[in-house]
Amino acid sequence: MNLDDCISIVTEYDEQKYRAGQIFNWIYKRNVQSFTEMENLPKQLKLNLSDNYLLNPLKILKVTGAKSAKTRKFLLECQDGERIESVLMKEQKRITICLSSQIGCALGCEFCATGTMGIIRNLTVGEIVAQYLLLLKESEKPITNVVFMGMGEPFLNYNNVVKSADLLNHPDGINLGARHITVSTAGIVPQVIQYTQERHRYKLAISLNGSTQEQRLKTMPIAKKYPIDKLIESVKYYNIETKNLVTFEYVLLAYINDSESDAKSLINLISDVPCKLNVIPYNEIGGKFRRPSNEKVRDFLSNFSNASFTVTTRWSKGADINAGCGQLVVN
């Protein structure tokens, strides 16, 4: 619930509106686990809240990875018994949480484990933000970055993802900087346009994973509905309207999109788009695709030495515990 929702609640119980700010603060800034911990609220209000509302709709079923590890994966259970996975990653001073936005995914990208589940349902705003609040308790240091790159396609749960980002960013609550929140999409063009028109300040990442329409179709069925040329057009529109760079994510698959000609084709595709390119060596999930050798990855990257955009490589953390990009799945 946002602050307006909290105001509606306290008004219903004939309390002063300032009580809403207190409740909001206890939930999102102090991260309490029960209404009884809200010390400055009247006893009757705490009883009413306890009788009618739930603070956190998730519970931790399993944690994979030691507390000292750089990456830990959390299996979480929703109120209806459905399960999701979230990932907590440490890198120097940066603590990043990878949030899920759906239970399963409808896109069916062949290289992604979540895609094998199909779509079960969207997560609510509460279930999305609850991942952050739960894992914050498990983290030794404050979480500095949020990426909507877990289970599901965020732009197919657009309203709930945006509302969740707004709650994470709210100055009277969690107060995470907008540029520390990244929403990643496989390329749902109408929502890229909507996101642009609504002027959201959160970072935008696009899972490109191919340099041509034919190549994208081999691994990402969504390319049939939203062709690569239309996707690039929407990204250019985003940049023109917002002046923000987009990050293109490019999962490197052996013998699919990792050749020198693929690199040159990719440069031609995005060189006139103000962007960053994040190359991600594939994390295997037991299917038909393979991860290129480290030498092959370096050969691919060598083609970008004179590129007009910044190129980074994400050597995925957590692949050893199936917590890397594309490896989240609940059977």
Question: How crowded is the C-beta side of 298, counted as CA atoms within 13 Å?
Answer: 3
Residue 170: partners with Cβ closer than 8 Å, 6 or more residues away: 2, 3, 28
What pLDDT does 329 receive? Answer: 52
Residue in 6, 15, 85, 153 annotated catalytic? 85
Enter the tokens of residue 194. Answer: 């909507």
Instruction: Report the CATH fold assignment for 3-52.
Output: DNA polymerase; domain 1 (1.10.150)
Low-confidence ranges of the chain (pLDDT < 50): 318-319, 321-324, 326-328
Query: 98 catalytic, yes or no?
Result: no
Residues 207-229: tens digit of each pLDDT = 999 999 999 998 899 999 999 99
Is pTM beyond 0.75 here? Answer: yes
> Is 91 in a helix, a strand, or coil?
strand
Contact 329, 113 (CB under 8 A): yes
Is the Cα torsion angle 30, 33, 35, 37 positive or negative in sign? negative
Query: 198 catalytic, yes or no?
Result: no
Residues 273-300: tens digit of each pLDDT = 999 999 999 988 677 889 999 999 999 9
Instruction: Report the CATH fold assignment for 59-321.
Output: TIM Barrel (3.20.20)
Domain spans, the chain:
3-52, 59-321
Residue in 6, 98, 105, 325 annotated catalytic? 325
> Is 201 in a helix, a strand, or coil?
coil
